[in-house]
Amino acid sequence: MSIIQQVEQYLFQESDLNIETLQEAITDLYRYQIDFSDIFVQEVQMEFWQLEDGIVKDASYNLNKGLGVRTIEGEKTGFAYANQLQLTALTNAINAATSISRAGQNRQVSFNVAHAANLYTSAPTMEQVAQTEKIDLLRKLDKAARSMDEKVTQVIVSLSAAHEHMLVVATDGTLAADIRPMIRINVTVVAESNAKRERGSAGLGGRYGWSQLLTMDLETLVKNAVSQAVVNLEAIEAPAGMMPVVLGNGWPGVLLHEAVGHGLEGDFNRKGSSAYSNRIGQQVASELCTVIDDGTLSQQRGSLNVDDEGTSTQSTVLIEKGILKGYMQDKHNASLMGVAPTGNGRRESYAHLPMPRMTNTLMLSGQSDPQEIIQSVKKGIYAPNFAGGQVDITSGNFVFSASEAYLIENGKITAPIKGATLVGNGPEVLKKVSMVANDSQLDPGIGVCGKDGQSVPVCVGQPTLKIDQMTVGGTQG
């Protein structure tokens, strides 16, 4: 049975809708004086477990389903949604979404089934796993964390999973479906010593199920969380001023995601509100920097067989050897800009409009050895882990806080530091990248991207890299 048949059978088992009904509705919608319309249908099962100090403090199961109808005329968009999969709900949503346009002549739609990739399993994520198994795993990780260091006083372990069925039908002939798994586990510990308390956390996940989660290196996951907390107990105050900064590989790519990635999304550039607007073909980074967005990576958190508009995902080169090559596009912005969509149309749910969003965004490896990069710094900082940050898309200015950082002195990593913030401008910082290591990797599967009130799962990544001069905010002047 094909994915489309599986999704149709699953979504409409208690409904008077089916794919043929949706195709008829789309054809009827095309009578209106619109440029484009689509119907997005979705059901998501979500499960969450949290263990705190050996006790189950939170457990939830949620089922969310519905449909959204969108119509587009020029830059105008009509949108309506319903939280039930019934013909009456579809009809009401269509009536609301077509309020931006007038009825016109009949136009025919020729549907083409999207040939989606097969990047992840369509099997249930963990619905068939006994509750006792899930709780036993969380307790095992809790016990492991406490046994690693006597300074650990509190442990919080969480497990979340989602299993999504989606279907999209559009007036451009799109007929696409997908079944999407997602799982994530997270460990947070608090360590105490000499009246000081510090927190450390680590997580992993991706588009796979329970059985594969059990094959992951969960012991190292716990070690990383404990190590971060314990190291921060010994941390000294961070220096402040202009200095070289070495970013670690993997999760530090979140800075690239925020400071650069959002600025390369099509809607900001169409409106001219991005620091990268009208700069295709210009040098926007060091020639050592090549940045891509790739939604086709197997089992990664940000990967999709098709995006939420039914477009196949792809690997899109954004910056190549420092030259800006392109933007990430959904259908609407791509049409208005006269380019092809790139498979980056994403939405949080059926109740939200799609827009250009990142999938797995990373900088590719360079030629340097990571240790060689550390050795090249006389005095600076090394930041292998980040917490939150803020970015202004228009200017490219950002502020990020490091959750784990160290001094580099005479080419060696020395004392851990705390309170370090990195301040800069995305395009300017990328121009100051002077060394890029050969160790690019994605984060372990913990990324969540927010934009206009919508959250979607993503991956970020980069190699170890050196920024010659960057403003570090700390407590030592």
Distance CA 125, CA 105 (A): 46
Say if CB 425 and CB 397 are below 8 A apart: yes
Q: How far apart are CA 363 and CA 371, in angstroms?
A: 19
212 vs 195: CA distance, rounded Å: 40
How is 132-195 classified by DSSP, letter by letter?
Answer: HHHHHHHHHHHHHHHHH-TTEEEEEEEEEEEEEEEEEEETTSEEEEEEEEEEEEEEEEEEEETT
Q: What percent of the chain has pLDDT over 90?
A: 90
| Half-sphere exposure for 36 (CA within 13 Å, toward CB) | 19
pLDDT in tens, 420-465: 999 999 889 999 999 999 999 999 999 999 999 999 999 999 999 9
> What would the mean pLDDT of 353-374 be, rounded to a whole number?
98
Average pLDDT, the chain: 95
Rounded Cα–Cα distance for residues 79 and 3 (Å): 27
Residues in the chain: 477
Q: Rounded to an integer, what distance in angstroms lies between the CA atom of residue 230 and that of residue 232?
A: 5
Residue 57 has pLDDT above 70, yes or no: yes
Question: Are β-strands 355-356 and 345-346 bridged in parallel, bridged antiparallel, or unpaired?
Answer: antiparallel
Class in CATH terms, 3-233: alpha beta
Provide the 10 A C-beta neighbour count for residue 113: 15
Cite the DSSP H helix spans in 234-377. 253-256, 266-270, 331-337, 370-375
pLDDT, tens digit (0-9, with 9 covering 90-100), for 289-319? 999 999 999 999 999 999 999 999 999 999 9
pLDDT at 323 over 90: yes
Q: Tell me how far apart the alpha carbons of residues 212 and 337 are, in angstroms, rounded to a whole number.
A: 42
Percent of the chain whose predicted confidence (pLDDT) is above 70? 99
* Residue 157, beta-bridge partner list: 51, 187
Q: Are 384 and 224 in contact (CB under 8 A)?
A: no
Delimit the domains of the chain by residue range.
3-233, 236-473
The residue-averaged pLDDT of 349-364 equals: 98
Query: What integer is the mean pLDDT of 239-266?
Result: 94
b/e string for 235-252 if b means 16 or more Cβ within 10 A? beebbbeebbbbbbbbbb
From the list 281, 309, 287, the residue with the least C-alpha distance to 430 is 287
Contacts of 9-13 with CB under 8 Å at 24 or more apart are 10/43, 10/165, 11/41, 11/43, 11/65, 11/85, 11/165, 11/167, 12/85
Question: Does the structure show a pLDDT above 80 at 388?
Answer: no
pLDDT tens across 129-174, in order? 999 999 999 999 999 999 999 999 999 999 999 999 999 999 999 9
How buried is 217 (Cβ within 10 angstroms: 0-12 exposed, 13-18 middle, 19+ buried)?
exposed
Predicted confidence band of residue 74 (pLDDT cuts 50, 70, 90): very high
What predicted TM-score, i.e. pTM, was given to this entire model? 0.95
| Residue 51: per-residue pLDDT | 97
**pLDDT band, residue 476 (cuts 50/70/90):** low
Query: Looking at residue 475, what is its pLDDT?
Result: 61
Q: How far apart, in Å, do the first and last CA atoms of the chain sit?
A: 65
Which tokens sit at 64?
A: 């969310």
Local confidence band at 477 (pLDDT 50, 70, 90 cut-offs)? very low
Tally Cβ neighbours within 10 Å of residue 199. Answer: 16
Mean pLDDT of 205-212: 97
225: closest CA among 245, 262, 198, 248?
Answer: 198
